[in-house]
Structure 1
């Protein structure tokens, strides 16, 4: 039996380094799942604001503002990390800040809106910047033929951690009768402590990547960061394949943002009760775990472009299928009550969850394959800018959804993903990787 089927990272060097890196992928799941996806937006409106006329706007201000700030500062933070070899420091600082501020959410009282903002905005900002620092280690932890395997394996474990957190949360709600949002404070403390605990191996064993890099002597880190970004944009034509991937990431990142932000809401609109919603989220998470197997097993073998294109094709079909289902469901409504079966939504939801896991992992690996090691934090910062700005594209989706209906909004979503597919097909990954290996001079 092939040992790699049992342990996919068999034969990779730097095993302790790899596992200390993976541990952070597991750590930050507590924040993205419990705080951003599942509980805190509801807690914020029902417990902190207690005013239906302004809770959505205040939540949008907190979430959108922190993501916009992270998007704008991601490239500069990455450039400074490359300049001063601060990748590990940046990762640890952002992780600890996010974890501690998340614990602080457990002590919030009704009406403390501004205190909530002062805790949540830095926490979400630190989480978003930390994702970029984490990804920037990938080009130095695995060889070019291994980045897909490592990214997929780590992404899969992160999804498994999310599944464990879902079961802990749902089990606690049922066992201790914590259905009332007022009683959710222990979950925020758990999320922060989980983050801190799984960051410990990263603190102890992950090392700053040993790569040659240009140092701008006599300049502050801030000035040097801007200088590095200027140099990168000067040579951007040489990095045209990586730039094309960044543009593609923006468009299909919209799909990821919509799935994360609207999956539970859409499911609720098509007849899913709260109990079914938790099960639906768990099933999507399992599909995400399965999805990460694809890039882990095939991406390095068949190529990053082909893998991404195939996965994007599946997602275009899933989004278009969802639009068709929405049309049929609404066509069979009688007096505002749906009479169309919900089983197709389980199939579509699984496809979307599969795509969320596989595309997230494959995209991170693809960027790692095309990014020069000496500028990895900078380029992953630009990648972070694209992914986080993609969250802005949920506004056109929401506007079409509210004004014309779900089928039209889902067709718009399929269109965004299709644009990402077309841009992906224009990438020459061999040329892009050759430029990355030659460094800045090769991008002249």
Structure 2
């Protein structure tokens, strides 16, 4: 992979300045290109913030599937999220390897972006009782969204040196939270306006879905106009007959080679197991926090939206602060600290049964969420050899999406089995963070970095 950008490009970006933006990266990318890369985080955050976290999840449980009963409605929501993540789990390593082999990460990113935008807009067609339609569109939009996350993350080793990867990743994550804040703020303003005119969720949620789709499409434009594909394609096997089968064979070959050399990347795979466990807790909070707030604590739609706005703000601050800390003191200690915060937040959520206590929990969650997700992405980037970033981030996506199946579905099954006891289901979320912290201490960061350099 040719990771060196022209000198003139770095100089062209030198005029851009921002207290949040890292300095230009010698031999990697200009400030302008780093900004364009981070703008994809800005663009896609509206989807996860509004669809998965704040609005459509509660709309699905409380309106679309309300006739199924609370316990079954929650289970159906978690199953839809689980199915979409299972699709990513199966496809991510292979598609990532093909994207590496063909140097086509940007084309794959474009296809996944268009898919997410179209299927998110389709959610505007969902009304009360349309359970099958809602689940189908959610599965497809979430699959496209998650695939795009893998492809954009795979550009990180191309635009950032290992020494600055933590803060560059954090910059993207922080900008993403600001994007989520902007889209959620627009949605909150519209919901408030619509509610003041007597409209209900059935009236305003479809419009909110269209707002999210349009915002994603517009905000992603800088990424596709500015971000460069630095990778060079690897020639196909000359004995392979022409056609898509050659790319499939090449992709499987790269995945098989990685799996054959697991021992060379011991710490990467240990971390992927660790990430799967603690991300199961994170994904549960992302897709069920609004449901918990409404069903257990009696939050209204406006209260939930305001809470998610606050969480996005604290998450952006947490990502920036811990991103710099990660580059100074290492990824493992930084991640360990964020997991301790997660454990404290989940413990307080279980013990406290008031709205005031939940506001404290929400801010702790925001602080830890941005930091833990950003630090995990950066560590995978540090452990990835040059030229195989999409493949290794495909494995990262596999781990994250396996977590997104195990965490929310575990919560949904416990809630269903206990007749809708959300507080008991919350204990499974706490357990994921405790076990994740214990596993994290088995990862040797320096040994993982050496393995990546030797593989190059």
TM-score, structure 1 normalization: 0.87
CA distance in 1, matches of 2:355, 2:126: 38
1:322–1:59 distance in 2 versus 1, CA, 3 Å = closer
The reply on whether 1:98 has 2:124 as its aligned counterpart is no
Instruction: Give 1:345 shift.
Output: 2.4
Instruction: Give 1:157 shift.
Output: 0.9
**Secondary structure in structure 2 of the residue aligned to 1:262:** helix
* Superposition misfits of 4+ residues, deviation over 6 angstroms: none
Partner of 2:229: 208
- C-alpha deviations, 1:311-354, integer Å up to 9, x for none? 112212222233332xxx4xxxxxxxxxxx54232222211121
The reply on whether 1:189 has 2:210 as its aligned counterpart is yes
The reply on whether 1:225 has 2:251 as its aligned counterpart is yes
Partner of 1:84: 102
**Secondary structure in structure 1 of the residue aligned to 2:98:** helix
**Secondary structure in structure 2 of the residue aligned to 1:11:** coil
Q: Which moved more, 1:66-75 or 1:206-215?
A: 206-215
Structure 1 runs not aligned, ≥5 long: 330-340
Partner of 2:411: 397
1:12-91 alignment runs, 5 A limit: 12=25, 13-44=29-60, 51-52=67-68, 59-91=77-109
Contact 1:245 1:424 in 2 (8 A): yes
The reply on whether 1:256 has 2:282 as its aligned counterpart is yes
Aligned length: 424
Instruction: Give 1:418 shift.
Output: 1.8
Structure 2 runs not aligned, ≥5 long: 1-15, 241-245
Instruction: Give 1:45 shift.
Output: 6.0
Q: Which moved more, 1:398-407 or 1:355-364?
A: 398-407
CA distance in 1, matches of 2:299, 2:75: 25
Contact 1:43 1:182 in 2 (8 A): no
Q: Which moved more, 1:403-412 or 1:251-260?
A: 403-412
CA distance in 1, matches of 2:298, 2:127: 33
Instruction: Give 1:356 shift.
Output: 1.1
Partner of 1:287: 314
Instruction: Give 1:291 shift.
Output: 1.1
Alignment equivalent of 1:141, drawn from 159, 163, 170? 159
Report the aligned-residue RMSD: 2.6
Partner of 1:414: 430
Contact 1:211 1:373 in 2 (8 A): no
CA distance in 1, matches of 2:211, 2:180: 13
Alignment equivalent of 2:149, drawn from 131, 153, 168? 131
Contact 1:255 1:417 in 2 (8 A): yes
Instruction: Give 1:185 shift.
Output: 1.9
